[in-house]
Structure 1
């Protein structure tokens, strides 16, 4: 029996969590993480917006403002501290520490869980295996998404080499997976 389900391979164009386009190589999904237009581009982000942009970005970084409302707003505190996550179009807005919870009181910050809109619990883990920088597993410990940056010593031909992979069965959670991954990468960047 042949598995016809294709994961979503979202090429992360810049590799920077503070601003990048995520384009599926099969043209099914196009997401963008960007700072608000009036936000300073240096220093810790005060806010990041996640958009479902509906079209592929060009090979050159596309800096035009997005002509859509964001799907998610991530607001950070001073000096990069965690702030709030807000899902636009819903009334869901809560502190990031409540959305992405540590697994245990004395556990590390780079393993956290969240409850998605489908009612299931998912867990992001940093470098839990040698193949991926970040892995997201469900309650049965199946990998539903993973993220990898291109190693600096490997060439990339006409692609960035940075990829967020989401299993097809979890594509409806793509915005939530990208939002939670963005927060996890912020936690890692600022040692929170």
Structure 2
């Protein structure tokens, strides 16, 4: 079964991602302990259980798996810091982590090397019905992110989902980190 995460808010700078089968819970939120004091820094936390819909601050008791330190829209991307295994204590400039797929290609198609040593690529709106699609070197769909269409009502759920196919479930953190950067690139026109 694929991991299907509900993105509760659809917002880049703060949301909970809860697997609909309660297998994994992730949170993307501004990082309160940025070493540079950068207010444009996000952290990805693996949470032990589903968060409440109210002001849940349990992530402050945990160490993040990844910290995304964005330089700001006018300065470019920034640095990604992997803080948990398998890539513990590794920092990479985001432009080196997520490279354009073609020299003169658009910035919304980028590739990255995941913790399994293989290369994957994100594409924006190239597959019908998917806002973002992550593909393997063999062109298999690894993951896709979908926003609820504005004309579709939501009843107790956001309707925004990230699906990671079961064969690639070991890449959840890689997928979340790279997708967050891709969404930042799209949001700020980088």
Same fold (TM over 0.5): yes
80-89 or 46-55, larger mean C-alpha shift:
80-89
Deviation above 6 Å: which 4+ runs of structure 1? none
SS of 2:77's equivalent? coil
- Find 2:78's aligned residue among 83, 99, 111: 83
- Find 1:37's aligned residue among 28, 32, 36: 32
Instruction: Report the count of equivalent residues.
Output: 182
Q: CA deviation at 1:37?
A: 2.9
Q: TM-score, normalised by structure 1?
A: 0.90
Q: Which runs of 5+ in 1 are unaligned?
A: 1-5
Q: Which has the higher strand share?
A: 2
C-alpha contact 1:13 1:61 (8 A) present in aligned 2: no
- Find 1:28's aligned residue among 23, 32, 53: 23
- Find 2:8's aligned residue among 4, 13, 20: 13
SS of 1:189's equivalent? helix
Q: CA deviation at 1:61?
A: 4.3
C-alpha contact 2:10 2:160 (8 A) present in aligned 1: yes
Q: CA deviation at 1:62?
A: 3.9
C-alpha contact 2:31 2:67 (8 A) present in aligned 1: no
CA distance in structure 2 between the partners assigned to 1:95 and 1:108 by the alignment: 19
80-89 or 26-35, larger mean C-alpha shift:
80-89
The residue correspondences of 1:1-192 to structure 2 (distance < 5 A) are 6-37=1-32, 46-58=40-52, 60-66=53-59, 67-79=61-73, 81-89=76-84, 90-192=88-190
Q: TM-score, normalised by structure 2?
A: 0.91
Q: Which runs of 5+ in 2 are unaligned?
A: none
CA distance in structure 2 between the partners assigned to 1:31 and 1:62 by the alignment: 15
CA distance in structure 2 between the partners assigned to 1:47 and 1:38 by the alignment: 9
